[in-house]
Amino acid sequence: MDKERKRYFEQLSELYPTIGKASAEIINLQSILYLPKGTEHFLSDIHGEHEAFSHVLRNGSGAVRKKIDDVFGHTLSTADKAALATLIYYPSRKMELVKKQEPDMENWYKITLYRLIEVCKTVSSKYTRSKVRKALPAEYAYVIEELITEKQEVLNKEAYYEAIVNTIVELGQTENFIIALAELIQKLVIDHLHILGDIFDRGPSPHRIMDKLCYYHSFDIQWGNHDMVWMGAAAGQLACIASVIRTSIRYGNLDLLEEGYGINMLPLATFAMKAYADDPCDRFVEKSVEGTTSPMENDMIRKMHKAIAIIRFKLEGQLIQKWPEYGMENRCLLHRIDFETGTVEIDGHRYKMMDLNFPTISKEDPYGLSEEELEVMTRLRSSFVHCEKLQKHVQLLLKKGSMYKVYNGNLLYHGCIPMNEDGSFTKVNIYGKEYNGKALYDVLESYVRKAFFSTDPKEREKGQDMIWYIWTAPNSPIYGRHKMATFERYFLEEEAMKHESKNPYYKLIDKPETADAILEEFGLSGDRVHIINGHVPVRKIAGESPVKCNGKVIIIDGGFSKTYHSKTGIAGYTLTYNSYGLSLTAHQPFESAENAIRDELDIVSKREVVEYVGRRILVGDTDDGMRMKARIDDIKELIKAYQSGEIAERDQREF
């Protein structure tokens, strides 16, 4: 045995100090390999829609209702199944309604407990007792384990379980116990959650989504471009801060900044009211406003909107000039405005401007911030970098997130693989060196992490600036459009100039050879591998399908955000991957939790099988299973080393 191998086995022997301990672990791991794989749940482009997101988490995209159907079949009516499902989703609030209508609550409690226990038995059956035990609420762990575990030694099982249930009711613990069982079912129905980007922007409550994820049992995130710009803002990157504020104002989400994250918007408001005092700022109305605001408030918001938009254009121009390798010089537009003719030159053509009131733009230095603008951004930067909640959320994005993920034969990413028209991967200049395909994703992720963790100030700065590039650049894999036409939407009348052309990827991905080339680039091949993709809403209303290349590519952005519903015809796609295969779910718009509870409504409109496997997928077929098999092989080698005398068994009292 060589030196390195011996050192490894000595370290391994600290975990398994005897042949008996090592053998027991092999038996444990070997048994787990033959359990069915846990259910994975895929969501994308949530865009701040907390209530819809929360409901989809609670119902597991129909997985909870399917378990109820599996358990009770035709022994329960459709209405009773719907009532039980709603109770599992919203136990506290549903019981409050039941108490107002049900004349015999004690009987209802007992019936409900028995039904929940049966569902719990089914959803826990694919896991080891150890894993289920870890998921149990501490205060009821022993009782729940007794109720959901078969007791072969108990002759009169019905009397045994009835005695436990009666005691729960007599002690007045029924409601707390029902809540514990409902939450356990939610947790066990979904083993792992994947979020394919864009938690932030458009909707009102991304902070509440992040709060919920802080306590979710198992998940990962593939960063979206809207997540990226918030990460840049948290890092203190000024152009990202301006972009975040502009988008929040544009979609009527100032409350998110001021109340959700405690960002002080007074400096911007004060500056805007002074700088644009006589400007109606008619081009800067909010895109989406819920409720009503006074004319005075509307006037102030429009002025703030214009002020931060101009600051953003200046800051972005500075970055483009600072880093010519970004290749975005054509997006520096302020110096191309001709104030005498009222036109702007874009890509060699001149267009009439619809607004020329720019009191803070200097002809000599159009991209320089005025003293007042600089003061505003300095104070805003301080608010962002010192916001404890935002920093906590971004740290979670860094810990659980990445540019892409390969997981159980699926390649997950938010946007695209930048491609040329001929199907080759586009070479992209990143600080003087070209990258494409997987290498491009990897280098960009390294710079994102440098923005937060590098001890070299220059590398940290490059990382922060690169975050802005990832948010908006044509060759960014999580943006994937030839330009971000914000300037054109504000100031030009020509609709064609507002169009943002997609990367060739979005045409080529319909071809099986493109999908195969991408999968191979990321180390995947075979029959049961897939690309799972978000970012661009699927327009079901126009007949577009989310499933491409005979199921090899699945686009799951169906438009959670309310602003997309009229274009897509639905309210989002989600995907589940259980031991039987992949199922795609289309969702109806979610009105409110109150309606869902009162009317026992769900938002699952249609579930369709994308891929069904003939043999049930086991843990041994998954990535975790591959790691367990490797671990088993290593422990077997350790046992041989014990038996040959190359490694000595340890005295367990040492540990």
Q: Model confidence at 478, in pLDDT bands (50, 70, 90)?
A: very high
In a domain, residue 427? The reply is yes
Domain that holds residue 13: 3-34+620-654
Half-sphere CA count of 452, side-chain side, radius 13 A: 20
Q: 169-178, 381-390, 433-442: lowest mean pLDDT where?
A: 169-178
**30 and 44 share one domain:** no
Reply yes or no on whether the pLDDT at 229 is more than 70: yes
Reply yes or no on whether the pLDDT at 599 is more than 60: yes
The residues with which 345 forms a beta bridge, in sequence order, are 350
Token digits for 263?
A: 């960002």
Q: What is the mean pLDDT of the chain?
A: 91
In a domain, residue 311? The reply is yes
Number of Cβ within 10 Å of residue 648's Cβ equals 11
**176 and 159 share one domain:** yes
Reply yes or no on whether the pLDDT at 540 is more than 70: no
Token digits for 220?
A: 């990962």
**DSSP assignment string, 277-345:** TT---GGG--S---S---HHHHHHHHHHHHHHHHHHHHHHHHHHHH-GGG--GGG--GGGEETTTTEEE
Structural domains counted in the chain: 3
Q: Model confidence at 595, in pLDDT bands (50, 70, 90)?
A: confident
CB-based contacts of 378, cutoff 8 Å, min separation 6: none
Q: Model confidence at 654, in pLDDT bands (50, 70, 90)?
A: low
Reply yes or no on whether the pLDDT at 541 is more than 70: no
Reply yes or no on whether the pLDDT at 510 is more than 60: yes
Q: Model confidence at 465, in pLDDT bands (50, 70, 90)?
A: very high
**93 and 78 share one domain:** yes
Question: In this predicted model, which residue has the larger pLDDT, 538 or 393?
Answer: 393
pTM to 2 decimal places: 0.93
**225 and 250 share one domain:** yes
Closest among 327, 260, 609, 335 to 475, alpha carbons compared: 327
Cα dist from 93 to 544, 596, 600, 601, 645, whole Å = 38, 11, 12, 14, 63
In a domain, residue 179? The reply is yes
**639 and 599 share one domain:** no
Whole-number pLDDT of residue 590: 78
**185 and 246 share one domain:** no
In a domain, residue 509? The reply is no
In a domain, residue 314? The reply is yes
**385 and 339 share one domain:** yes
**188 and 222 share one domain:** no
For helices 371-385 and 225-234, what crossing angle results, to 10°?
100
CB-based contacts of 149, cutoff 8 Å, min separation 6: 129
What pLDDT digit, counting tens, does each position of 72-93 carry? Answer: 999 999 999 999 999 999 999 9
What pLDDT digit, counting tens, does each position of 13-40 carry? Answer: 999 999 999 999 999 999 999 999 999 9
Whole-number pLDDT of residue 292: 55
Reply yes or no on whether the pLDDT at 153 is more than 70: no
Whole-number pLDDT of residue 570: 55
Instruction: Give the end of a domain, one of 429, 454, 472.
Output: 472
3 state DSSP class of 631: helix
**179 and 250 share one domain:** no
- Whole-number Å distance between alpha carbons of 458 and 518: 33
Q: Give the mean model confidence (pLDDT) for residues 100-124.
A: 92
Q: Do 368 and 376 touch, CB atoms closer than 8 A?
A: no
- Per DSSP, 217 falls in state S
**374 and 265 share one domain:** yes
**174 and 285 share one domain:** no
What pLDDT digit, counting tens, does each position of 255-308 carry? Answer: 999 999 999 999 999 999 999 999 999 999 877 544 557 888 999 999 999 999
In a domain, residue 606? The reply is yes
What pLDDT digit, counting tens, does each position of 606-653 carry? Answer: 778 888 888 899 999 999 999 999 999 999 999 999 999 999 998 755
**599 and 635 share one domain:** no
Q: Model confidence at 166, in pLDDT bands (50, 70, 90)?
A: confident
In a domain, residue 112? The reply is yes
Reply yes or no on whether the pLDDT at 347 is more than 70: yes
In a domain, residue 483? The reply is no
